Amino acid sequence: MNAPAAGAWPDELHTACGLLRRLQPGDAQALFEGITGDREVTRYLGWRTHETLDQTRNLVSYELARWQRDVARTWVLDLPERRVCGMFQVIGQGPTRQIGFALARRFWGRGLATDAVATLVAVAFTHPSVYRVEAVCDAENDRSSRLLQQAGMKLEARLGRYILHPNLSPQPRDALMHAKVRREE
């Protein structure tokens, strides 16, 4: 990965597997085809699977606005052939930041998401005010929990009835909390 300037949220990050670049309005179609409209990929996400491209356009607009307000940043993972295959986020403003991620199904099992998440964790810690980077996943989302631990986070706890995953249940479900923390004073 390239060395980001301390405290910046770069528009582009070169990872071992591809380019993480800032989300753009034109990404909606590829995201709908690979991620937001796929029932398997959205199974453990916090919103319902999209039925229409317009729903994904709205999500993209929402995320572009969140970057403008500096409350959340979303990058897409572009492979060398310029194929958008993933969506990765760092959310929050204070000492704790949350990571979110999803990869189109045909790209699972190659280490792409581990690489992208590890890159964003490293970027988050270039901000001197960030002390904790965390990620929560559904207690049954084994792939996600494995990825987070491979990306350097510790599995901290199982949180009862913590998270809503509307594609699975209207009721909150158990979740796994993972984190990497800055220990030095």
Ligand X SMILES: CC(C)(COP(=O)(O)OP(=O)(O)OC[C@H]1O[C@@H](n2cnc3c(N)ncnc32)[C@H](O)[C@@H]1OP(=O)(O)O)[C@@H](O)C(=O)NCCC(=O)NCCS
What is the distance of C-alpha 160 from the center of its chain? 22
Question: Which value, to the nearest 10 degrees, does the dihedral of the CA atoms of residues 164, 149, 141, 12 take?
Answer: 70
77 contacts 115 by C-beta, under 8 angstroms: no
112 lines the binding site for ligand X (CB under 6 A): yes
Stretch that binds ligand X, among 62-70, 89-97, 98-106, 177-185 (CB under 6 A): 98-106
Size of the residue set binding ligand X (CB under 6 A): 19
4 lines the binding site for ligand X (CB under 6 A): no
Q: Least distance to ligand X from the beta carbon of 6, Å?
A: 26
110 lines the binding site for ligand X (CB under 6 A): yes
Listed in sequence order, the residues at least 6 apart from 174 whose beta carbon sits closer than 8 Å to its beta carbon are 138, 139, 158, 159, 160, 161, 162, 163
Q: Least distance to ligand X from the beta carbon of 64, Å?
A: 21
41 lines the binding site for ligand X (CB under 6 A): yes
3-class SS of residue 26:
helix
Interface with ligand X by CB under 6 A: which residues? 41, 44-45, 101-103, 108-114, 137, 141, 143-144, 146-147
